[in-house]
Amino acid sequence: MEPVFLTFVFVLAIFLGFELISKVPSTLHTPLMSGSNAISGITLIGSLASLRADNVKVAVILGTLAVTFATINVVGGYAVTNRMLEMFKKKDEGGA
Amino acid sequence: MNMMTLVINFAYVISAILFIFGLKMLSSPATARRGNLVSAQGMLLAIVVTLLYTGLDFKWIALGVVVGSVIGLVAAYKVKMTSMPEMVALFNGFGGIASLLLAWSEYHQNVDLTTFIALVTFLSAFIGGVTFSGSMVAFGKLSELISSKAVVFKGQHLVNGAILLTAVGGGVLFAADPAAGYTFFLVVVGVALIFGVTSVIPIGGADMPVVISLLNSYSGIAACAAGFVINNNILIVAGALVGASGIILTKIMCKAMNRSLGNVLFSGFGATTQAAGSGPQGEAKPASAEDVYYILEAADSVAFVPGYGLAVAQAQHVVRELGELLEANDTEVQYAIHPVAGRMPGHMNVLLAEANVSYDQLVEMDDINPKMDTIDVCVVIGANDVVNPAALDDESSPIYGMPIIETHRAKTVIVLKRSMNPGFAGIQNALFFYPNTRMYFGDAKASIQALVAEFKGAE
């Protein structure tokens, strides 16, 4: 039953994603991409959970690399998106 | 399921909600920054509760997190806004390789998989691998470490087809008996890395916005597949959101370039260039800085139409300065931005925002075109094909059918250009010969500076 349940979640999330993203204006498409990059670093959650103390050596190396790459995505993605969105200002907000 | 696992999984539900609200807030520039922070909080929550699992190897976790954070932060604060496409390409790749490594590590720990888990392990490794090597090629092309031209050779489709078949075959053999299929798994990883390279090298520089959107989607789908492998809902939900986002952006880019996805993926751009000497001919009317100044000075509404040439000339800041002088002169100023202006979706908006252009002056193509007849002057800077009226009426033109910003319908069009040479796609622009068009030749930045000087001199 589990695969069916997971597929259910997957399909609903895809539809939700289409609804959400189609409302993002093209002005913000670059921050959207870098922000969704950060979200795709969610693999970090799995990589953290996979680094168990009783792992064999090869799995430790693979897991540590996975954590490193996913962290770059998460930290770098959110930071650069924040940096970009900071620049989007309206004149009456004292931006220019 | 023990108590702790229950708590952790409920916390993941909250994370998912935060991701969704974060993306929802991205629907307006006014709330977007807070939205990004909401999304980041969702991620932080998910990370913190994951560390509550018992039996984790914190030494290695700390190493990975510290190294990753340092690299991520340095990259995020050093990168120039003009280089955002390269950065996004690189990060897509990192997302992909993380999914591959996670699937591999899980499989290495326990080779005795059910057929379903074996199948998703294969998908996670394959899509992750393709995303990684494909993104590295895209990064190389965008940063011009390798030729940005389309690399095409005879029989390319056959080679790619054969590679894909090998991957599927390897996947089937692996899923049939995962315990004995370690070799097949390694073959799949190797083939995935090769396929990423061979599927992206035939795609030319101008099509990169489509490719990075697509790779963005892949990186999400790879995370999704990894979620199936470890039976984790938050990976599936977040991965699916990213996957959907990438697909939508890919679709928008393809539409804006008037090309099908198949056409982008399977034929090198530039193959459709017109023969030299054909195309529109006529006499273009040049204008001096002083002429342009008088036209702008008398205008009630001006729309700047920037292309990537503007960013190359680093002219964003002088354009904003000119815009402010025009506003001080009671002229309405807008910036009309084509979806493929710049080198990735929305790139030009970021570059103008960086130069302090107010975001309510950034207008999308579909919003400005209906109002075009009422605009006094359009100033085209570093854009070419996206304002070429041949896309509307010349069926023989290679860009026929592409949506354009219809500057030719404005009362006057001023085109800033170095010379009469055709643009990136090698197509001569019919706009240059319209009766209401004036050509203002020179380097974009120097030309705008000359106009700024005219305005200041008149005060």
Q: What is the pLDDT of residues B210-239, one digit of tens each?
A: 899 999 999 999 999 999 999 999 999 999
The residue of chain A nearest to residue B56, with distances taken between CA atoms, is A52
Question: Which residues of chain B does A49 touch, with a Cβ-Cβ cutoff of 8 Å?
Answer: 50, 53, 56, 230, 232
Tell me which of B105, B208, B252 to substitute to probe the interface with A (most A C-beta atoms closer than 10 Å): B105
pLDDT value at residue B270:
44
Question: Which residues of chain B does A79 touch, with a Cβ-Cβ cutoff of 8 Å?
Answer: 72-73, 76-77
Instruction: Identify the three-state secondary structure at position B380.
Output: strand
Cα(B104)–Cα(B174) distance, integer angstroms: 13
pLDDT value at residue B314:
85
pLDDT digits (tens, 9 = 90+) for B177-195: 999 989 999 999 999 999 9
Domain spans in chain B, listed from the N-terminal domain onward: 3-266, 289-458
* Residue A96 or residue B383, greater confidence: B383
Determine, for residues A25 and B28 on separate chains, whether the beta-carbon distance falls below 8 Å. yes
Tell me which of A29, A52, A58, A62 to substitute to probe the interface with B (most B C-beta atoms closer than 10 Å): A29
Taking residues B108-127, report their average pLDDT: 93
pLDDT digits (tens, 9 = 90+) for A60-96: 999 999 999 999 999 999 999 999 999 998 876 544 4
Determine, for residues A84 and B362 on separate chains, whether the beta-carbon distance falls below 8 Å. no
pTM assigned to the model: 0.90
Determine, for residues B30 and A42 on separate chains, whether the beta-carbon distance falls below 8 Å. no
Question: Which residues of chain A does B229 touch, with a Cβ-Cβ cutoff of 8 Å?
Answer: 46
Sign of CA pseudo-dihedral B244, B245, B246, B252: positive
Where is average pLDDT lowest: A73-82, B25-34, B269-278, B325-334? B269-278
Based on the residue annotation, tell me whether B300 is a catalytic residue of this protein: no
Cα(B434)–Cα(B94) distance, integer angstroms: 48
Return the number of other C-beta atoms located less than 10 Å from residue B260's C-beta: 11
Tell me which of A4, A11, A16, A30 to substitute to probe the interface with B (most B C-beta atoms closer than 10 Å): A30
Question: Which residues of chain A does B332 touch, with a Cβ-Cβ cutoff of 8 Å?
Answer: none
**Closest-CA distance of chain A to residue B223, Å:** 6
Question: Which residues of chain B does A81 touch, with a Cβ-Cβ cutoff of 8 Å?
Answer: 36
pLDDT value at residue B276:
43
Residue B272 has pLDDT above 50, yes or no: no
Residue B279 has pLDDT above 70, yes or no: no
pLDDT value at residue B277:
44
Of B105, B116, B216, the CB nearest to A66: B105
The CATH homologous superfamily for domain B289-458 is TPP-binding domain (3.40.50.1220)
A–B: how many Cβ contacts below 8 A? 372
Among B322, B334, B336, residue whose Cα is nearest residue B450 = B322
- Categorize the per-residue pLDDT at B73 as very low, low, confident or very high, splitting at 50, 70 and 90: very high
Instruction: Identify the three-state secondary structure at position B52.
Output: coil
Of B60, B87, B364, the CB nearest to A51: B60
The residue of chain B nearest to residue A53, with distances taken between CA atoms, is B57
Residue with tokens 């870098």: A34
Question: Which residues of chain A does B43 touch, with a Cβ-Cβ cutoff of 8 Å?
Answer: 38-39, 41-42, 74, 78
Query: Which two structure tokens, joined as six digits, stand for A15?
Result: 């539809």
**Please, what's the b/e burial string for B402-428 (b: 16 or more CB within 10 A of its CB; e: otherwise)?**
bbbbbbbbbbbbbbbbeeeebbebebb
Of A17, A52, A65, the CB nearest to B240: A17
Which helix (H) or strand (E) is B99 found in, with range? helix B84-109
Which helix (H) or strand (E) is B32 found in, with range? helix B29-50
Give Cα B240 to chain centroid, integer Å.
19
pLDDT value at residue B268:
58
Backbone φ and ψ of B267, nearest 5°: -135, 130
- Categorize the per-residue pLDDT at B433 as very low, low, confident or very high, splitting at 50, 70 and 90: confident
Judged by phi (left if over 0) then psi (alpha if -120 to 50, else beta), residue A30 lies in alpha
Cα(B273)–Cα(B255) distance, integer angstroms: 20
pLDDT value at residue B400:
83
Q: Which of B112, B300, B360, B385 is catalytic?
A: B385
**Closest-CA distance of chain B to residue A94, Å:** 10
Q: Average model confidence (pLDDT) for chain B?
A: 89
**Please, what's the b/e burial string for B316-341 (b: 16 or more CB within 10 A of its CB; e: otherwise)?**
bebbbbbbbbbeebebebbbbbbbbb
**Closest-CA distance of chain A to residue B369, Å:** 16
Of A13, A46, A65, the CB nearest to B240: A13
Question: Which residues of chain A does B64 touch, with a Cβ-Cβ cutoff of 8 Å?
Answer: 47, 51, 63-68, 71
Determine, for residues A76 and B72 on separate chains, whether the beta-carbon distance falls below 8 Å. yes
Where is average pLDDT lowest: A7-21, B7-21, B28-42, B401-415? B401-415
Determine, for residues A56 and B23 on separate chains, whether the beta-carbon distance falls below 8 Å. no
Tell me what percent of chain A is helix, strand and coil, each rounded to the nearest 5. 80, 0, 20
pLDDT digits (tens, 9 = 90+) for B31-53: 999 999 999 999 999 999 999 99
Tell me which of A23, A36, A73 to substitute to probe the interface with B (most B C-beta atoms closer than 10 Å): A36
**Closest-CA distance of chain B to residue A19, Å:** 9
Of A16, A50, A95, the CB nearest to B102: A50
- Categorize the per-residue pLDDT at B282 as very low, low, confident or very high, splitting at 50, 70 and 90: confident
Helices B115-142 and B208-229 cross at an angle (nearest 10°) of 150
Question: Which residues of chain A does B60 touch, with a Cβ-Cβ cutoff of 8 Å?
Answer: 51, 60, 63-64, 67
